[in-house]
Each structure stands twice: as C-alpha cells, then as structure tokens.
Amino acid sequence: MDLIYSLIDFVLHIDQHLVEIVNEYQTWTYLILFLIIFIETGIVVMPFLPGDSLLFAAGMLAAQPNELNVGVMIILLLIAAIAGDSLNYSIGKRFGMQVTRVKFFGRQIIKNEQIEKTHSFYAKYGSKTIVIARFVPIVRTLAPFVGGIGRMNYGTFLTYNVVGAVLWVVGITLAGYFLGNIPIIRDNFSKVVILIIILSILPIIFEVVKEKFKKNAA
C-alpha cells in the first residue's frame, strides 16, 4: 500500500518532485524523464506510471529561468514515446498474451477487461486507436501491445505511432509551458492533474455508458 500512496503522491505533486529531481540531478533530469515516458509507453506491465501529468509538469518547469530547455526536452520525449510504443508492439507480436500473466504482489497487473476495452477501441477506431490511445491512461500502454498481438502492419503502426507521439508530447508539454505559470494553475497543480486524468478517461467512461445503454435497450 505504501508504494501505491507514494505513486499517488508523486502524480498529484509531480511539479514539486520534478523541482527536487532537477535540483539533485540537473542535466540527468532529461534522462529520467526519457526513461519514465519510455517505460510507461514501452513496457506493457507499467501502465500506472504518470504520462500526461509528467509532460504538463515538465513543460511548466521548462518555462522557469535556468531550468530545462523545452526544445531539447520535447525532442527527447518524442523519441522516448515513439521508441516505447515500438517496443510495446514488438512485445505483443513476440510474446502475445503471455505477458498479461505477470503478477505484482500476487495480483495480475494487466486485467482481461482492460485488454477487452482496448480491443473495443480497435474495433471502433481501427489504426487510429494508436493516436487516440496516447491521451487515454492504461489504454495508451495497451494499444501498441494489442496492435502487436493483432499483427498490425508495422508501417501503418509506425505512421500512427509518430503522429500520436507528436500530438501528445508536443501538445501537452507546450500546454504546460504556456499555461503552467498562470497563478490559478500553478497554485492548484494537484487539482489540474486530477482534471487532466478525468479528461483522459472520459472516452472510456463514454464507451462504458454507451454499451450499458445498448444492453438495456436490447
């Protein structure tokens, strides 16, 4: 439970933690950010790492004098996001559903219903799922994995992978860069993170509600 509480604290106060990381590790912060995004998008059993909030907070920090360079950071995080999805695709193609049996503290990390939800995204949006999923926690990590299982054409996958990474990394990082210093946002960062999470999972909530209405109507 301590690990869960620590993760929640890290996500909700990621702006403060990033400042501590920069103060302690300085230039190595770029590598730390790179690894977090790469692991979150590239390792199918790590969907709980922060993505959207990390990009937004990193953008905020880059807007501060003598902190991170926003251009360098965006380029590195783009590479991390693209490489991460490509790795995840390869894992799905090579190992398939075997990976979902991995357990953490005796509990299955990837649940079957999460895989099913990702399949439903593919059924509705096709290859565009790779782009849309970038903005949906958990699905963001599972989509390339499921694409690999389904043997999606790699050229098609890579195209949508790059487009999705550009929209996600550049869009959210620059949003933090330009909006993060607005006092009401800067002083209420934990609430902003919660809002980002809610907006991110709205597509899933919408799909669940729609399916429920369909079943009731039938």
- What is the rounded distance in angstroms from the CA atom of residue 200 to the CA atom of residue 202? 6
Residue 201 tokens, joined: 């999972």
pLDDT at 3 over 50: no
- Those residues whose C-beta lies under 8 Å from the C-beta of residue 130, and which sit 6 or more positions away, are 85, 143, 144, 147, 157, 160, 161, 164
pLDDT tens for 130-139 read 998 898 878 8
- What is the rounded distance in angstroms from the CA atom of residue 67 to the CA atom of residue 51? 20
Comparing 5 with 95, the larger pLDDT belongs to 95
Q: How confident is the model at residue 105 (pLDDT cuts 50, 70, 90)?
A: low
Q: How confident is the model at residue 108 (pLDDT cuts 50, 70, 90)?
A: low
Residue 73 tokens, joined: 């950071």
pLDDT tens for 47-56 read 667 778 889 8
Amino acid at 42: G
DSSP tag of 43: -
% of the chain with per-residue pLDDT over 90:
27
Which helix (H) or strand (E) element contains residue 168? none
Task: For 107, list phi and psi in degrees, rounded to 5.
Answer: -115, 140
* Mean of pLDDT values over 62-76: 88
pLDDT at 91 over 60: yes
Would you tell me how many other CB atoms lie within 10 Å of the CB of residue 183?
A: 7
pLDDT tens for 114-132 read 777 777 778 777 888 899 8
Out of 25-34, 99-108, 154-163, which region has the weakest mean confidence (pLDDT)? 99-108
- What is the rounded distance in angstroms from the CA atom of residue 100 to the CA atom of residue 17? 31
Domain ranges in the chain are 2-217
Q: Full-prediction pTM beyond 0.85?
A: no
* Mean of pLDDT values over 24-46: 88
Pair 77, 177: CB distance under 8 Å: no
